[in-house]
Amino acid sequence: MVVHGGGKQMTRFLAERGVESRFIDGLRVTTPETIDGVLKVFAGSVNKQLVASMIAAGAQAVGISGIDACLVEAELLRPDLGQVGRPMRCNPGLLSALTDAGYLPVVACVAGDRQGRIFNVNADQMAVTCASGFQAERLVFLTDVEGVLDSRKRLLPVLSLEESQELIRQGVATGGMQAKLTAAGEALRNGIAEVVIAPGSAERVLERLLASEPLGTRLVREV
């Protein structure tokens, strides 16, 4: 399956409507006005553009969100963030139904709860929750860097869970990479055998990764 966000498109959508994007600890403050944009951008334009591109590439892609069939249930993360959710569980029946029938689920990072509330969810956390519930063998984060770098900016091809957390403790991995490593650690602890952080712009990146070609950084529980 594919799980996606769309933060840059969301910021542009709000700016065009005179709404300033505010962030706390790297998370977008999500007001009722913003959640309307989240649905339009994440579950709407970005999701359908990805689906159309994947269909053009030969996949039977289907666009959904975490709200559909309670795929991902969430709860309020923090009051000061507004409608930002912490994903609590994945109910993978919809994913199984789609993949068993030969479809590729494309999941927007929007979740809900049993009371009908809607939450904006961090895409990394959404991916971990879906992968864990679906019992995926491998989780791949496609990003805008070549992988995880050490303090001298050299690519680290393989990292254990402990080594990845040490990079955070030492302040080597910060910002977006810290978030990726934290999410990767959660995935490994949830039983996913391998997490890969790889450059999304690399040619045929998924094909090469699925063929076990060394690319980016591979994270495992123990080296």
Which helix or strand (DSSP H or E) is residue 173 part of? Answer: none
Q: Residue 98 CA to chain centroid, in angstroms?
A: 19
* pTM tops 0.75: yes
pLDDT tens string 167-212 = 999 999 987 888 899 999 999 999 999 999 999 999 999 999 989 8
Give residue 200's pLDDT: 92
Measure the CA angle with vertex 108, ends 123 and 41; round to 5°.
Answer: 100
**Measured between alpha carbons, how far apart are the two ends of the chain, in Å?**
27
pLDDT per residue over 35-49, tens digit each? Answer: 999 999 999 999 999
Same fold, 1-135 and 137-223: yes
Give the right CATH number for 1-135 from 2.130.10.10, 1.10.10.10, 3.40.1160.10, 3.90.50.10: 3.40.1160.10
Query: pLDDT tens digits, residue range 125-184?
Result: 999 999 999 999 999 999 999 999 999 999 999 999 999 999 999 999 987 888 899 999
Beta bridge partners of 159: 219
How large is the greatest C-alpha to C-alpha distance in the chain, in angstroms? 50
And the tokens for 84? Answer: 């930002």
Structural domain boundaries of the chain? Answer: 1-135, 137-223
Q: Look at the domain 137-223 and name its fold.
A: Carbamate kinase (3.40.1160)
